[in-house]
Amino acid sequence: MIEFLIFSYTMKGRKEMNIMNSLCIKKVMLAFMLGFPVLYSQAEEPAVMPVLPDTIAAPHTVKSEGTVQVAFSPRGGGQDIINNALHEADRSIMVQAYLFSNKSIAAQLEAASQRGVSVQVILDSSQEKKTNHLVEKLISEGIQVRVDHDFHVAHNKIMIVDRKTVVTGSFNYTYASENRNAENVLVIRGNQKLANLYVDNWEWCWNHSQRWNPQ
């Protein structure tokens, strides 16, 4: 039983609170990403859930090595440290993103592709359901984009640069994550064992993902 409080406003600007009782909801699953509610239904569940490969099917403890750069949002430098990591790329950039609409980060991916870096992007299936000119532009620049349909939500926010530098955290690759939300981002350099685990996970997701096909 869920009671909804509905606020209405009179002509005089006064607030009146009406309570609707006895409203039964059998199935409501409410998730908040970037402050926007997303409703999920059982019909969206994948028919067959992929099974993790043996290399990442159990927790790993990795020795602390290298450096960790950290930034927070809003406007605490998260976008900058991501862009700096992308600028360092010589060979490859692997991306997993739940949301992707940050023009500055997209520009860095395009610049990397133009200088010969292999750039590959995996997106959540929700991104196909709306027009995303930024993704279309990435594709026009020769960047490979796939969509992961095999999970309820493909929620990773990961970049792997040259198979050795890992970018991760809560930070979605959006304008809101940099300027409006409370987020965090880590750039981990010099820890190859950790990077290898992220590469294994990324390659597994890439192999079962499908070509970008906006609806």
Instruction: Identify the pLDDT of residue 162.
Output: 98
Instruction: Identify the pLDDT of residue 209.
Output: 83
Q: What are phi and psi of 50, to 5 degrees?
A: -60, 150
Instruction: Identify the pLDDT of residue 190.
Output: 98
Q: Hey, what are 172's tokens?
A: 């979605």
Domains in the chain, CATH or no CATH each: 67-211 (3.30.870.10)
Sequence-distant (≥ 6) Cβ neighbours of residue 54 within 8 angstroms? none
Instruction: Identify the pLDDT of residue 32.
Output: 37
Instruction: Identify the pLDDT of residue 47.
Output: 62
pLDDT averaged over 10-residue windows placed end to end, the chain, 215 residues:
35 36 36 40 58 89 97 96 98 95 96 97 84 87 89 89 98 94 97 97 90 73
Instruction: Identify the pLDDT of residue 89.
Output: 98
Q: Hey, what are 66's tokens?
A: 């290298």
Instruction: Identify the pLDDT of residue 215.
Output: 61
Distances (CA, A) of 134 to 26, 101, 102, 157: 38, 7, 8, 17
Count of residues in the chain: 215
SS3 for 126-163 is HHHHCCCHHHHHHHHCCCEEEEECCCCCCCCCEEEECC
Collapsing DSSP states into helix, strand and coil, what is residue 128? helix
Instruction: Identify the pLDDT of residue 206.
Output: 94
Q: Hey, what are 190's tokens?
A: 């010099």
Which positions are catalytic?
Answer: 155, 157, 162
Instruction: Identify the pLDDT of residue 154.
Output: 79
Collapsing DSSP states into helix, strand and coil, what is residue 86? helix
Instruction: Identify the pLDDT of residue 14.
Output: 37
